[in-house]
Structure formats: structure tokens, C-alpha cells
Amino acid sequence: MIDISATGSAALQKRIMALLRKIEHCANGVQPVWEETFRCWDSVCKLLQKYPKGFGAGEEAIEPLHRAAAKRRVSHHTSTEHDIDMQIQEWANITSFLCALGGVCLQRRPSILWTTVHSHDSRKYNVLANSSQEVQYCPVTQFIGQLLRLLLCSNERFGSQIQCHVKQLVGNEMSPALYPILFDQIKAIVDKFFDQQQQVMLTDINTQFVEHTIFIMKSILDNKKSDQPCEHLSTTSIEGLMLAIVRYVRHLDMTVLSVHIKTKLCQVVDAMMRRRDDLAFRQEMKFRNKMVEYVTDWVLGTSHQIAPPLRADASSITRELDQACMEAVAALLKGLPLQPEESDRGDLMEAKSQLFLK
């Protein structure tokens, strides 16, 4: 039994979510509760994204979040800053619940009522274009798709709070059983950052999503717990996702932000290789060689000429990038046989020599 007097509310919330992640069987009451909670969460998300429109408009507008609190707000005909902060925190708690319990809900098909009522929303938020109907109408898949879109929440009042909550919860509180769906959905989104000719489309929004994705990937890979299973990480290969992210990042202009992003991405690569035994690779040798080629370019590039505005600590952050690059390359090269590209097969030894010299 948890003694609430001996812990803060945030710590208590984390302990409860840890217990929910340990549930192994989807009992009869679990799925209906999750689906009903998701329905309320979806309504709250729509309300928050429309802020300030809809707030203070009556009990119906804010009913899904907390009926009792809504009645108090309606009686005062106002919505204070404190009310909004409380709503966001409660929304975060609901999100944490859905992340923690969503994995076990994959054991059962969604209810007939859910499939009938929410089929339109399922198609709208499903980013896996070629997925089966079973995956398309899965409420858990829909939840993850909507959650990833909130990484780009642009509300002036609390957009940054929403983004921070989402990346923290996805990276640290999500059930490991959801990782395969998460990775596949992230890759489907990142793939859209390239046109039909595979030319990268650099935008602030795309870069922001990639930055958040790097944070999430690092959190997941660093978060190895003895009481959590690792087999879900090996259910799907992350090679395609990692290569897509690196391909996007390597085209960024040399700014302070891009240096930070590249540094964090190198740390993800290092963490990935430390978790190598828990991950699945389809063409590991080819993948690692390609990653070495990309990452070494950041060290051997144009001496890290950072675009204006210049900063006094520019040299220190480029040194951090150099160090992170070398650690990532060292992790990738450990036990790696030299394997040139297929086009280099003409003179294999010469190609290997060139690869080694690089």
C-alpha cells in the first residue's frame, strides 16, 4: 500500500503508473476504462487546442475533464490562470494513464461500439497509410498518432507545456509494448519530411518534431529497467527511423540549434549501440557503416562554422559535438567489419582501405 503522506503527488503518480505498466493481462474492465478515458482525453485535447475559445462557455465545453471542477468554474463564470494550469496537469495525468495502460489493451480487439463510433477519427489520425484495418481502427494506435501531433502544439499560452509533457511521458512513462507502434508512427511522419525525389524539406516545424523525437528516443534507450521487459524493442527495426532522422539532421544549417540537435543525436546513437542486444537489425553491418559515414562528416566538416548570430560559447558547444561524434563513431565501429557499399565491389581491398582511412 502506498503511503500518500510520505510522498509528493508527482512521485505518487509515477509509482502508480509504474504499477499500471506491470499489468500483464487485459481483464474485462481494463479495455472499456481505457477507451472511455481516451474519449475524454480526446475531448480535452480539442478543447485545449482551441484555447481561449470555448473556455468559460459552459459546463458542456469542459465536462470531459473534471465535472466537479467544471461546475465550480461555471458558477464563478470565469477561468483563471490557475484553473488552466490545473487542467493541463490533469490532462498530463490522464495522458500518463493512457501511456502506461495502453500496452496491455493491445491484447484485445477494440469494442464494436468504438469501431463504429470512431472509425472516422481512426482514419484521420492513422499515419500508417498501408496498415491493416485492425491496426487502423485500433484506439491505441489512434492515441499514439494524436499524441505525436501534440509535439507540435502551437498554442501561445501553453503549447510549450504540452510539448514538454508529451515528450517526457512518451519517453519515460509509456508501456514498452507500445514501442513498436510508436517507432513505426514516428518513422511514417519523418518520411514525409522528404519529397518524392527524397530531397529533404527543411522547415522549423519538421526540425522541431525531429528534435523532440531525438529526446524521446534517447529517453527510451537510456531507460533500461530490470523490472521491464526488453523484447518489445526488438519487435521492429529502428534502422530506417534512425537513418531518416540522421539524413534530415545532416542537412541542417550550422546553427547553435543544429549543433545541439546533432550532439543529442550522437548520444542517441551511442545509447542505441549500448542497447544493441535488445534491438533488432535487418542489415546491421550496412546500417552501422552508413551511420559512421554520416556522423564522421560532422567531425570532418567545415570546422563547425556556426551561422550568425555568433555566441561566446560557440567553441564549447562545437567541442561537445566533436566529443559526442567520436563517442558515437567508437560505439558504431566496435566489432564492426569493414563493409563498403555494393558499388565499391570492383576493388574490395581498396574500398576497405578508403573506408578505414576515413
Q: What is the pLDDT of residue 291?
A: 93
Cβ neighbors of 338 (< 8 A, separation 6 or more) are 289, 352, 355, 356
Among 184, 175, 200, 174, which residue's Cα sits nearest to residue 136? 184
What's the pTM? 0.81
Q: What is the pLDDT of residue 223?
A: 85
Displacement of CA 199 from its chain's centroid (Å)? 23
Instruction: Please check whether residue 37 is in contact with residue 94, taking contact to mean a CB–CB distance below 8 angstroms.
Output: yes
Assigned C-alpha cell, 315:
567553441
Q: What is the pLDDT of residue 224?
A: 75
Instruction: Please check whether residue 255 is in contact with residue 317, taking contact to mean a CB–CB distance below 8 angstroms.
Output: no
Over residues 290-311, the pLDDT tens digits come to 999 899 888 765 445 665 555 6
**What average pLDDT does the chain have?**
79
Over residues 258-300, the pLDDT tens digits come to 999 999 999 999 999 999 988 988 899 999 999 998 998 887 6
Over residues 130-172, the pLDDT tens digits come to 444 445 458 999 999 999 999 999 888 888 999 999 999 999 9
What confidence category does residue 54 fall into, taking pLDDT thresholds of 50, 70 and 90? low
Report the C-alpha gap between 227 and 235 in whole angstroms: 19
Average pLDDT over residues 195-224: 94
Q: What is the pLDDT of residue 39?
A: 92
Sequence length of the chain is 358
Q: What is the pLDDT of residue 122?
A: 47
Cβ neighbors of 257 (< 8 A, separation 6 or more) are 207, 211
Report the C-alpha gap between 324 and 357 in whole angstroms: 20
Over residues 205-214, the pLDDT tens digits come to 999 999 999 9
Over residues 312-350, the pLDDT tens digits come to 566 788 889 999 999 999 999 998 876 655 555 556 566
Over residues 60-118, the pLDDT tens digits come to 444 444 443 444 444 444 456 677 888 888 999 999 999 999 999 888 776 655 455 55
Instruction: Please check whether residue 51 is in contact with residue 131, taking contact to mean a CB–CB distance below 8 angstroms.
Output: no
